[in-house]
Every structure is written in C-alpha cells, then in structure tokens.
Chains A and B, each alone.
Chain A
Amino acid sequence: MAAGRVDDETVQAARTGDAAAFESLVRATADAVYGHAYRFFADAGTAEDAVQEVYLKVFRSLGTFDGRSSFTTWLFRVTRNVCLDMLRAGRRRPVPVDPLNAVTAPVGDIADEAVASVALETALASLPPEDRDAFNAVALFGLSYEQAGDALEAPVGTVKSRVHRARRSLVSLLGLGEGGA
C-alpha cells in the first residue's frame, strides 16, 4: 500500500509546529516508513527503532524542508538515510536472505494472504538493494518515477528498469508464474 496522501497544507501546518498536522503526517506515512525499514533490516524490532528515528529526524528538520521536492520524496530520502546510517553505525545488519529460500509460496498457496505476505517480504529482502529501494519508493511511498529518481539520484529510465526488474524477480521468486519469451 502506498503512503497516504499528504497535502501541502498539512505539511505547512506541521512545519509551523501544529501537533495535529504532524500526527496526520505520521499516520499517513508510517506504514510506508515501517515497510521500507522492515524490508531493509528484515527485523520488526529494528524497523520500529528506525521508524522512531525517522520521525524524530523529520520532527527536528521539518522547519528546514524547503518544499523543492514533495514531502513524501523527502520522507523517503530521510527513511533510506536513517536505515543506512543505522547500518553504518553497526546497530543492525540486514539479515542476508538466500534467494533460494525465498520461494516459500507457490502459486497455489498465494490465496493465503499471510503466507503470501511473509513470502513477499522474504523475497524482497533477497533483492539487490538498488532494485528494492526503487520498488519501495514507487510501491510503498507512491513516488512517481521522476520523484524516485530524484530521491535515489538515478535517471528516470534506470528507476523504471529497477522497479520492473524487482517485480519480475519477485514473480519468479514467489513462483507466481513465468512470462515472456
């Protein structure tokens, strides 16, 4: 699920210290931030720590957010940086996932939502980081390819390719079906 819509008025209000507006921002985007952190660390507890850190950073820096990019683009960048910083600080390492172990939900079982979810997250954790980041930016944060390119400092075409490659890898890893020639 992509991050909920965040309008400029809410962002502006939050910038001026409106606690209710800040809460709206958090509620609209917490799933996306958590989702990215969870896929990064493959650990719920560490992901929760990351979410707290992300929003404290947002709280402290919102006044300097200049609006040149959208709030969700900025939030994605903050989230990604926090996860990388936590990794660099040695607070947590991403759990290495063997792509072969990711194939846990064959096509017939995909109706089971919970199983499929776990399988998807496992498969996502096994993707190359650049593909996973591009996929998360678009699928979780709802960024356009241009916005994702801005956040990831990559050309739009590259983002598009990474997202598509991530999807094809996931389809393959999850045994959802092979396509194409």
Chain B
Amino acid sequence: MECDRALEALSEAIDLGPAAVPDHAEALAHCAACPGCARAAEALRRLGSIPAPEAPAGLVERVLAAAEQERAAQAPQPEQDASPAEGGGPTLVVPLTVPVRTPSRFRTAALVMAGAAVLFGAFVVMRAGIVTMTGDGTRTATELGIEPVGANGEAVPPPPLPKDFKGDVTSGPGADEAQSARTAPNLIAFGGWVYRAAPDVRAPERSALTTLGQTTTDLGSGSPGTHAVLGLQSAPQAIYLDAAAGKLMLFAIVTRTFGGERFALQADTSIARYGDWALLPSRFPAPTAADGGPTFRAHTKPDDVGATVYPLPGSDPSGGFAIPPGLPATDPGSGNPNWTWWAPAP
C-alpha cells in the first residue's frame, strides 16, 4: 500500500469508523512497517482528540429566547367576535378580554364564552321589546355574565369603554364606531410602542435577557402597578414583563402591514389597564373632520388589509400614518374608538 492511500484510509476511518473502510487493516499494517506513516497516524489520532469549539454559556438560552420572541411575533391576533345581530338590531359584541394562555385553557374559555353568548342571545331575543341596548351597542363580559381571566388565571372585571368614546358618530371613517367599539385586547405600552399579551410560552432564562426599563399595567387585576420589562435590545418586537411571583409574561408588538412593510402601533402614554386602547400620540392634534383633516390626509392606497391610511399632509405613508376608528373585525386595530398612529416597526 502506498503511504498516501494508507493515510487516506486512516482519515476515512476517523470519519466512518474502521469497519467501513475495507483497507483499514492493510493501512495499519503499512504503518507498522513505515515509521513516517506511524507518526502521521499518531498525529491524526491526536488531532482527533483536540476538542472542537463549544457554544459559549448562555448562547443557547439567547437563541431560544429570540425564537420565542419570533414565535410571539408570529402569533395570530386574538379572535374577536363581531358578528352582527340578526334582523338589523343592535350589534352584540362579546369583548374578548381573556388572555390566551395555553391552547387548552383558551379553548375552555372560548367554549364558556360561546355558551354564555348563546344563552345571553336567547335571553335578549326572549326579552325583545323589554330590554333596550344602550347606544354603543356593546356589552362587557361582566354584563354578559362572563368572568374574564386575569394574568394569573383569576377572574377580573373587564374595564369600561374608553372615556373619550363617543357613541354618536354617524358619518366619516368612524361611522361604524358605534357598532365596533369594544374593550381592547390586553395591551401595554413600552418604549413608545404598544404590545399585546402573547400566548403563554416557556420563558427563557432571565440571564439571557436584559432589563430594558419598566411600565405600568394592571395585568387585568384592576390595580395598576409598575413592572420591569425585559428583553433583547436587538429584538424589540417582543418583550417580557416581570409579573407576579417572578413570572415572565410575553408581549408582542402590535403591527399592521402597508405595502408589505410592517408598521407598529405607537403610544406616548402608558396603557395602565387591560382593556384600555392606545390613544393618538399627543404630538398629533386630534382630527376634527371625519376625513382626518386637518391633521391627516387620506392616502390613495390602503394598507394590506384594506384599511385607509392617513399620513400627514404632504407626507408619504412610509414614514408612518394614522388609522381611523371604525375598523372591521379582521383589522389589528378593530374596536379601537380612537385614531391611532403607526410607525415603521422596529
């Protein structure tokens, strides 16, 4: 056997195992008779004993945390039942203030709510002409006899509709507001962005996260408190809230897309209670006209779910745009009675 083939056979044996190399025995015999190849064989053995690099401590945890944030960012928006009532009567809206925790729990809560809604619907039909629904046409979960579930599984009262909600809007972009306004999903504000409670995930090691700051929220308890916000500086699309008893709760940034680009909902004030909606940032004067004027001007091209966007007059929507109230149930801002501002997502 040639020296080159002998060493090649030894190299193959390292990769495949000696049994998979037909001339391995011959190569060993060659090495026994060839001092140069014997030294090379020993060198190959030593080479194989040198440890390969290992991922640094904490890297896997950071990877998993980033993946969970990605998972949260991809999570679907909570469903909201906006089915209109039959016969042109007032819209019965069941506000979904139940945070999506685990699939099984969510299914259970959804079944309870669906059952309660059916029973309540039957009750309303039976008492037609006796019970008159109020102008905003909405009912909270409590009014429906449904107990929303808080951050730790406890029953919590749903918050009232925003104080600035006007139920008498009858024209313009907010014409459907009276039919669609409802309590918000579980939102918080942090760093100028609005985040929504995401499905429960296994939280990463705290050591993999950085404390980014703090925010105020009641987490559905009715008593707002200050909570630390943790996350990755490089992935602000999702954050973890340090909830009670050291539990980390995941929140995903609220986004919509325009021209294939993601835009995130902004807020310059805290959202202290679950069920409160984001307001238009204070740097924008509230529109006084239904068409968004004079603050905003409707753009000719709608966003990717068909909503009209309202950039600043003379500006392009690529830098951000306002969205009016009165959005369909499929819209990420559905139910919000306020104008909102969406900026390019971080």
Name A residues whose Cβ lies closer than 8 Å to a Cβ of B: 1, 17, 19-20, 22-23, 26-27, 30-35, 38-39, 44, 47-48, 51-52, 55-56, 59-60, 107, 110, 113, 116-117, 120-121, 138-140, 144-145, 160, 163-164, 167-168, 170-171, 174, 176-181
Contacts and interface: CB of A to CB of B under 8 A. Distances in A.
Interface stretch (B1-9, B120-128, B256-264, B336-344): B1-9
Interface in B53-76: 53-56, 59-60, 62-64, 66-68, 70-71
Contacts of A121: 53
Contacts of A51: 55, 59, 63
B56 A44 contact: yes
A55 B50 contact: no
A161 B15 CA distance: 12
Contacts of A164: 7-8, 11-12
A72 to B, nearest CB: 14
B51 A113 contact: yes
A120 B53 CA distance: 10
A120 B71 CA distance: 38
Nearest to A20: B202
Contacts of B14: 167
A28 B43 CA distance: 29
Nearest to B58: A48
The majority secondary structure among interface residues of chain B is helix
Contacts of A48: 56, 59, 62
Contacts of A181: 2-4, 34, 36
Contacts of B53: 31, 34-35, 38-39, 47, 117, 121
B158 to A, nearest CB: 30
B47 A180 contact: no
19 contacts: A26-B67, A31-B53, A31-B55, A35-B54, A51-B59, A55-B66, A56-B70, A59-B67, A144-B15, A163-B15, A167-B47, A168-B7, A171-B47, A174-B43, A179-B39, A179-B40, A180-B3, A180-B36, A181-B4
B38 interface: yes
Nearest to A105: B50
B26 interface: no
Contact of B43 (A47, A55, A117, A171): A171
B112 interface: no
Contacts of B201: 19
B41 interface: yes
B52 A35 contact: yes
Given A19-B71, A179-B39, A174 B47 contact: yes
B59 A30 contact: yes
Nearest to B74: A60
A110 B46 contact: yes
A54 B83 CA distance: 43
How extensive is the interface on chain B, given as a class? 35 or more
B55 A34 contact: yes
Nearest to A48: B59
Nearest to B64: A23
Nearest to B36: A179
Contacts of B202: 19-20
Nearest to A168: B7
Given A48-B59, A176-B47, 18 more contacts: A1-B52, A1-B54, A19-B68, A19-B201, A26-B67, A32-B52, A38-B53, A51-B55, A59-B71, A60-B70, A107-B43, A116-B50, A117-B50, A139-B52, A163-B15, A164-B11, A170-B47, A181-B4
B26 to A, nearest CB: 15
A121 B54 CA distance: 12
A179 B37 contact: yes
A110 B45 CA distance: 12
A109 B47 CA distance: 13
Contact of B67 (A27, A44, A56): A56
Contact of A177 (B2, B11, B39): B39
